[in-house]
Each structure stands twice: as C-alpha cells, then as structure tokens.
Amino acid sequence: MNRIIGWVLACFMLLLRWLTRGSFVNDPRPALRAARTPYVMAALHAHQVAAVCHNDEKGLVAMVSRSTDGDLLVPSLKVRSIIPVRGSSSKNGKDKGGLRAMVSMAKLMEQGHGAIITVDGPRGPRGVPQPGIAVLAQRTNALVLPVVSVASRYWTLTKTWDRMQIPKPFSRVRIIYGPPIRANDFTDKQALLDAVQAALAALEREHDLMGG
C-alpha cells in the first residue's frame, strides 16, 4: 500500500511542478560545478515539496530517512531525478543506517554529484540542524549552501512538527540561496551547525512573507 501511495504522491508532485513557476536567486551552483567544488545544500524539512518540485539538478543526492515517510517520498524524488540515499538516526540516538548513508553520499559527491539534506529532519525541532550536514560537509571538504524554497502562496500543514508548506497551483516558487559556508573553516561541528541555523533563519525572515 505504501508503494502505491508513494507513486500517487509522485504524480501529484509532477502535476504541481507543471502548475507552478520556479526561479533561482543567488544560485552559486553553476560556478561551483565549473570549478569542481563540492557542495551540499542545507534546506528545511518544511520546504521539501517546493524544493523537490523545482529541482533542476539531475543526479542530485538526497538523504531520506528509513521511515514510512521516507518510503512515501522516494518515488517523488526519483521522478524529479534525485538519487535517494536511505539512512537516519533512531529515537534513542543509535545509528539507523545514517553512517552508511553518509559514506554513500560522500562517494557520490566525489564523483561530482551535488547533495541536499533537510537539516532539521526527520523529526525536528523545526529549523535546528542535526549533525549530519556538518559530518558530510567536513568529510568531503564541501561548501554548505543554505537554501529556502518559498512559494508566493502555499498551504501550511499546521499540525505537523515542521509546518510543512505545499505550494498552491499557479503560485511562484523562488529557490533562494544564502552565502556559501565553508565547512572546514569550523573546527567545532556545533559552531558550523549554529552558522547554518542562523543562515537559514535569516533567509526565512527575509523571504517567507507569509510567515512560515
């Protein structure tokens, strides 16, 4: 049943892609690709529908939790040319494929793939990055690209922990990048996570006019 629901959601994702208009603001990726500089995008879990809908990067690598929600998301990623890598942490803090997933993502980044992590997923708190983004970026000597994907009009799932945003048909989706963060400028992982959190919060305050 989950497989069927997942593919129904993938069809919805494609329909939403056709019914919305996307644009990119301050996008550093073309220059980074030309210079063969590795990067990992740091996004918010709340913005993943808009981000997936308007992904323009074939072979982008994404971390997906080993959960029912992750199972449902995988087909949507595949139809948008995103490579899902499964892994997450369990509720008691024990690894649940997360380290293996990080290794797999790092190997793909070394081959030239870009990567994206919803830094506050899979369980929150909203807007608070978990350690994975710091581990991956420092392991690969990558730039962290803070990014928000905000629709001009959207529904908010107010009862979800992340206040998930779903773009409304015929809205305009802007994918907005903040200044890149050089991961290996930070010797302390928590300091890097704090910098990512501050960058994403600043982007939301400036560009999410509906208030998240």
- Domain extent at residue 102: 2-207
Query: Contact at 8 Å (CB) between 88 and 97?
Result: yes
* The predicted structure's pLDDT at residue 133: 95
Query: Contact at 8 Å (CB) between 40 and 142?
Result: yes
Structural domain includes residue 135:
yes
Q: Return d(Cα 143, Cα 147) in angstroms, integer.
A: 12
Structural domain includes residue 212:
no
Q: Which residue do the tokens 């593919």 mark? A: 7
pLDDT, tens digit, 9 for 90 and up, residues 33-89: 999 999 999 999 999 999 999 999 999 999 988 877 788 899 999 999 999 998 765
Structural domain includes residue 136:
yes
Structural domain includes residue 33:
yes
Residues in Cβ contact with 47 at an 8 Å cutoff, skipping those fewer than 6 apart: 118, 148, 149, 150, 165
Q: Given pLDDT bands bounded at 50, 70 and 90, which one contains residue 1?
A: confident
Cα dist from 137 to 73, 75, 152, 185, 210, whole Å: 24, 26, 31, 11, 31
Structural domain includes residue 160:
yes
Kindly report the backbone phi and psi dihedral angles of residue 41, in degrees, each rounded to the nearest multiple of 5, phi listed first: -80, 135
Q: What is the pTM of this model?
A: 0.92
Considering its fold, how many domains does the chain have in total?
1
Structural domain includes residue 91:
yes
Q: Return d(Cα 101, Cα 202) in angstroms, integer.
A: 29
Q: Return d(Cα 196, Cα 178) in angstroms, integer.
A: 10
Structural domain includes residue 57:
yes
pLDDT, tens digit, 9 for 90 and up, residues 136-193: 999 999 999 999 999 999 999 999 999 999 999 999 999 999 999 999 999 999 999 9
Structural domain includes residue 194:
yes
